[in-house]
Structure 1
Amino acid sequence: MTSECFNTWVRPLAFAGSEDQKLNMVAPNETFRKTLMENFAGVLNRAVAEIAGSNIRPMISVAGSSSETAGNETIDPLPVVQASALEVPTVRTTWLIDQLWADRAVGVIGGGPKLGKSWLALDIAVSIASGTPCLGTFKVHATGPVLLYAAEDSASALRNRIETLARLRNVDFTKLDVRVITAESLRLDKAGDQDRLDATIALHRPVMLVLDPLVRVHAIDENVAGQVASLLGYLRTLQRRSGVAIGLVHHVKKNVSPATGGGYSLRGSGDLYAWLDSFLYLRKNHDQLILSAEHRSAPGAGPFLLELAQPDTGPHLKLLSAEPCPTRLKTDALPEKILRALSSATDPMTLEALRQTLQVRNQRVVEAIRQLSSQGSIQRTSRGYTLVGPTQLPIQIS
């Protein structure tokens, strides 16, 4: 098709080339383009189909404009700028809290039930609001208001926890800038509640927003990736638009293997782990409470040993050492105890007999039996479990 085809058309409509099944034309002004599309779009489409084929779409732009039309619809291209024209970043520190939370990061405070996730979230909130070190150790680089939504604590219990943390830091509780959202419910999968949170962030301009727990701020299925991605997309947009750091308190899956990475143990869709910038993971290794930190753009930290201290001043998380604990944490003594029980038994021992002898939960015995079986240390017979050949046991020194 040549440009001469346009000689029989209205002259103000100029041919501007064709590409990707589009016939590009330019109108002299928006008034002409609008009049043409409102009154003669059908004629134009038929003419183009006769000349160029039915798979070609006419696209009309206005001279000097970047917008173009197809049929009666205006299509605006995505905004594009040269890399050198992007906003020059301000000089900022990498951290909001040293080693624990990256600057303006979105992330998760995760762990099993009753391990102190909410205590850690409150410690972070009080540290940022007061400018005092988190867990008494990790420096805070940005001080200011913290906005908190704690869906599972009563107002009095929440006040008591925050007041305890302020007292431990010698901070005047009445001047501590932790601001609590007291709405009965918050559903951030709903546009109305998203708008209300947007307005709240704009009004209070917090350094950090803490939502505790994630499961109480939506009504979606956490295992459906599309639904989770939509919610997380909203939170990421909120963070980028306002600059607020966002911390979500979230649970891990049940019966997580110690070999499973912390992020992959988070309950629900894997989109959550892919979304976060910082991740604080609380877990138990027998009687040890352990905190590890992962970051998208910085090295991880830990593991650190913690305890939930219960002094007269009130309960709080206490860091036992600022130095990471050894990689080899306390090992399970149960497999060794099973080997000793079998070595001293005259007959094979059943699972129930082992459980009663050792006075431990059935699940722990099953896990230890599997471990020893895979190592070839024990074998199962019709009458129960026995050792496989001579087994060298550690010497006990009394």
Structure 2
Amino acid sequence: MTRKISTKRRNTRSPKKKPVRSLASTGLQTFTANDLQTMDFPPLNFFVEGLIPEGLTLLAGKPKMGKSWMALDLAMSIASGTKALGERTTKKGTTLYCALEDNQRRLQRRIRHNYGNQDAWPSNFHMATQLNKFDQGGLEQLEEWIDEHRPSLVIIDTLVCIKPKSDKGNGYDADYGALAPLQELAGEYGIAIVVIHHLRKLRGDDPLDMVSGTTGLTGAADSILVLDRKSHGTTLYGRGREMEDIDIAMQLEDGLWQILGDSDAVKISSERKAIIEVLENAEKPMGPKAIAEALDQPEDNVRQLLTSMARDGEVKKEGRGKYITP
């Protein structure tokens, strides 16, 4: 069964001198709170522990950050039932990676680079390099494939390759409408669909504000993952309707992404290492001000960190307000 998308805008304005129909005549289906209390729902599936639940996930990052490498690892890990991103447990199942900005030669080279010449690459890991835009039959193509193969994960890389060309109308409506059918499709089949997208150039206080486009995109998605490069390294921030907020440090090494740990903890750890390196290279004990100047960091932050490091035995106080390595 394929979903027919109507391109006609429904006229919701009531004709003049025509009485408004009651809700009872519209066929509105409702349920009571008492009904809801006794309903039994299956547990929510996480296909990648804590990161990729069933539903629609928008994964956004700046160009050339390695989003496609991450997509490849997610698809391969679920298809083979191995850990994703170095440490996250996966639920094994069929996967589809729509690498719409790549070709077969490049995909073969990347898989061979990351996973070597195994006896056989997973036969349940499917790939496509072409998919019609959704207003040109692409959604029907995708649903037919999903209905036939019943995958666990579908990745579309990238959104711009399948998004219908919007008219000069409401940008929010166009963005929401581009993802809403995928959100519905993921819910209908109980699968995870991940759409790769870009970040805008301007930074924002809220990572979700950096997603290129209107809030219609983040509003339509069940979960949003933002891959961002900051001064202390790369982080993956996540927020969703069915997942806890995450903020983890990431590292891309030779084509494979690795989770390093909680972003704040990794940041503090790297700052401690930097302080130890400065003290080891110093010819005499140093105070917080001199260390802060050497690292181009706020003096108050360095002072507080030195207190903690002294308590943990990582540095030793030498004289009045001076520090050395033990």
Within 5 Å, which residues of 2 pair with 1:1-398? 77-82=27-32, 85=35, 88-90=40-42, 92-93=43-44, 95-102=46-53, 104-140=54-90, 142-167=91-116, 172-183=119-130, 185-190=131-136, 192-221=137-166, 224-257=171-204, 260-286=205-231, 288-307=233-252, 309-310=253-254, 315-319=255-259, 321-326=260-265
> For residue 196 of structure 2, what is the amino acid of its counterpart?
V
CA–CA separation in structure 2 for the residues paired with 1:264 and 1:242: 30
**Unmatched segments (≥5 aa) in structure 1:** 1-53, 60-65, 69-75, 332-394
**1:131 offset after TM fit, Å?**
0.9
CA contact (8 A) 1:209 1:246 kept: yes
- Deviations along 1:311-347, one digit per CA (max 9) or x if unpaired, are xxxx32233x24444385779xxxxxxxxxxxxxxxx
User: Which of the pair has more CA radius of gyration?
Assistant: 1
> For residue 69 of structure 2, what is the amino acid of its counterpart?
W
CA–CA separation in structure 2 for the residues paired with 1:152 and 1:212: 7
CA–CA separation in structure 2 for the residues paired with 1:293 and 1:171: 33
Cα pair distance change 1:57/1:125, threshold 3 Å: closer
CA–CA separation in structure 1 for the residues paired with 2:85 and 2:97: 18
**1:55 offset after TM fit, Å?**
5.2
The match for 1:339 is none
Cα pair distance change 1:126/1:172, threshold 3 Å: farther
CA–CA separation in structure 2 for the residues paired with 1:120 and 1:204: 23
CA–CA separation in structure 2 for the residues paired with 1:279 and 1:285: 18
The match for 2:300 is none
Would you say how many aligned residue pairs link Structure 1 and Structure 2?
256
Describe the SS at the equivalent of 1:206.
coil
Describe the SS at the equivalent of 2:265.
coil
The match for 2:301 is none
Describe the SS at the equivalent of 1:226.
helix
CA–CA separation in structure 2 for the residues paired with 1:294 and 1:318: 20
> For residue 28 of structure 2, what is the amino acid of its counterpart?
L
- Deviations along 1:220-255, one digit per CA (max 9) or x if unpaired, are 349811112222221122112222211011100013
**1:296 offset after TM fit, Å?**
2.1
CA–CA separation in structure 2 for the residues paired with 1:245 and 1:160: 26
Provide the alpha-carbon RMSD of the alignment. Answer: 3.4
Q: TM-score, normalised by structure 2?
A: 0.68
Q: Which has the higher contact order (CA 8 A, sep 6+)?
A: 2
Work out the percentage of aligned pairs sharing the same amino acid.
Answer: 25
CA–CA separation in structure 1 for the residues paired with 2:218 and 2:21: 44
CA contact (8 A) 1:278 1:294 kept: yes
CA contact (8 A) 1:145 1:207 kept: yes
> For residue 40 of structure 2, what is the amino acid of its counterpart?
V
Q: Is the deviation greater in 289-298 or in 266-275?
A: 289-298
CA contact (8 A) 2:57 2:193 kept: yes
**1:264 offset after TM fit, Å?**
1.1
CA–CA separation in structure 1 for the residues paired with 2:194 and 2:153: 7
CA contact (8 A) 1:147 1:210 kept: yes
